[in-house]
Chains A and B, each alone.
Chain A
Amino acid sequence: MQKRNHMNPYFAGILLGLVLLAAMYFSGRGLGASGGLKYAVVAVVGAIDKTHAAESPYYSKYFENGEKPLKNWLFLEVLGMVLGGFISGAFSGRLKFKIEKSPGISNNTRLLFAFLGGVFFVYGAQLARGCTSGAALSGMAVFSVAGFVTMISIFGSAYLFAWFFRKLWI
């Protein structure tokens, strides 16, 4: 596999911006990621415990009028992301099973904090109705105040906490 460098960040930004513009033009919406994970969880809960899903004020709205949580734009978009990332990785020679971490920490430490990071990030994304993609990036592109506030809040808080977690990275 021939290895290639990452794309120039400004070119990659233009490419990402055009993908977002295409989502707005074709579907009247922005990009998303955490929402796709949410639909997966809703579908699993609905399959395991139908009564709980029907009675819960949170889950029930995803099953109204016989709707199926996986027949959803966002969920399909997330599946597409896996294929798109794979194509890019194959093209640039980056396909490899690997745990990426600072040499100063063990694999277990890395995986523990990766797990906790995932729990926090998606919990916060459910509360803010979107993550870096759906709230911050897509929101900014449509002048949404929520988008700008969420973006500043995510990055501001990560800078505030960065000192405490520096051993994980540097």
Chain B
Amino acid sequence: MGPLSIISEFPEWVNLLIGFIIGVGFGFALEQAGFSSSRKLAGMFYGYDTTVFKVFFTAALVALVGSQFLSFFGLLDLSLVFVNPYYVGAALIGGVIMGAGFIMGGFCPGTGICALSIGKIDAFVFLFGGLVGAFLFAETYPLIEPIALGGFKGPMKVDEWLGMSPGVFTLILILAAVFLFWIAELAEKKFGRPEITAEFDGD
């Protein structure tokens, strides 16, 4: 029964090793998806490359459906899996600031780390900026604390909030994904920029 590290009370070094191995898989998957390229990532916002959306939505659905199956067969206790607490203002305003950072920098932190690992110098500078951002947040925390702690709703779940069963909500998400994947494929045909998304730059 999972989560293994919580139920079996692994020693700390085992938990850290698991974290490291999961990180290897995470970095590998992001790089294989092509997320080490900022222009490919930015394509999401101009329609010429929608890989971000396809990978992101597919991954969320696989984990969402997979965890419910594991729970159904008694292999995973979902009540022990961390659910992000909801702070209304912080989620909204933090998201808007992140979106601005995304379009300026062309990376998010995860894809930046993955791009750094294959030698992208712009990713190194992005992550250095990220360290500065974390430092600025810590130093300005007293000022921003009211937003950070305001509108606390606890670890709220969408299915409970909408009053539907997890299964029905999952089905709706899958149908929405299929529809949006279709739109994404159309967008790439219409706005495609092969000179940007070509994978081999001839050297």
Are A and B interaction partners? yes
Which residues in A have some Cβ–Cβ distance to B below 8 Å?
3, 5-7, 9-10, 12-31, 33-34, 36-38, 40-42, 45, 56-59, 71-74, 76-89, 92, 94-102, 110-111, 113-162, 164-166, 168-170
Closest to A131 in B: B109
Closest to A160 in B: B99
| CB-based contact A118/B84 at 8 Å | no
Residues of chain B within 8 A of A137, CB atoms compared: 56, 59-60
Q: Give the CA-CA distance A15 to B84 in the complex, in Å.
A: 23
Residues of chain A within 8 A of B34, CB atoms compared: 6-7, 9, 12
Q: Give the CA-CA distance A88 to B61 in the complex, in Å.
A: 23
Q: Give the CA-CA distance A85 to B28 in the complex, in Å.
A: 5
Interface string of B80-93 (1 = CB under 8 A from A): 11111111101111
Smallest CB separation, A152 vs chain B (Å): 7
Residues of chain A within 8 A of B59, CB atoms compared: 13-14, 16-17, 20, 137
Smallest CB separation, A17 vs chain B (Å): 3
| CB-based contact A33/B109 at 8 Å | yes
| CB-based contact A146/B18 at 8 Å | no
The residue that A120 contacts in the complex, of B20, B26, B101, with Cβ under 8 A, is B101
| CB-based contact A89/B82 at 8 Å | no
| CB-based contact A100/B19 at 8 Å | no
For the A-B complex, the count of residue pairs with Cβ-Cβ distances under 8 Å equals 533
Those of B157-188 within 8 Å (CB) of chain A: 157-161, 166, 169, 181
Residues of chain B within 8 A of A28, CB atoms compared: 2-3, 5-6, 80-82
Residues of chain B within 8 A of A7, CB atoms compared: 32-34
Interface string of B1-27 (1 = CB under 8 A from A): 011111000001001111111111111
Smallest CB separation, A168 vs chain B (Å): 7
Question: Which of A7, A10, A40, A127 has the most CB atoms of chain B within a 10 A radius of its CB?
Answer: A127
28 residue pairs of the A-B complex, CB under 8 angstroms, read A9-B58, A12-B33, A16-B26, A16-B59, A17-B63, A19-B22, A21-B66, A24-B81, A41-B135, A58-B138, A78-B113, A80-B25, A88-B28, A98-B119, A115-B129, A118-B132, A119-B101, A120-B105, A121-B126, A124-B96, A125-B94, A125-B98, A129-B85, A132-B111, A144-B155, A154-B98, A154-B102, A157-B97
Residues of chain A within 8 A of B58, CB atoms compared: 9-10, 12-14, 16-17
Residues of chain A within 8 A of B136, CB atoms compared: 119, 123
Smallest CB separation, B56 vs chain A (Å): 6
B72 at the interface (CB under 8 A from A): no
Residues of chain B within 8 A of A146, CB atoms compared: 84-87, 91, 156
Known: A71-B12, A117-B107, A157-B99. 19 other contacts (CB 8 A): A10-B54, A17-B58, A25-B4, A28-B2, A33-B109, A34-B109, A76-B20, A81-B23, A81-B27, A84-B25, A84-B31, A85-B28, A85-B36, A120-B98, A124-B96, A132-B111, A141-B60, A146-B85, A169-B46
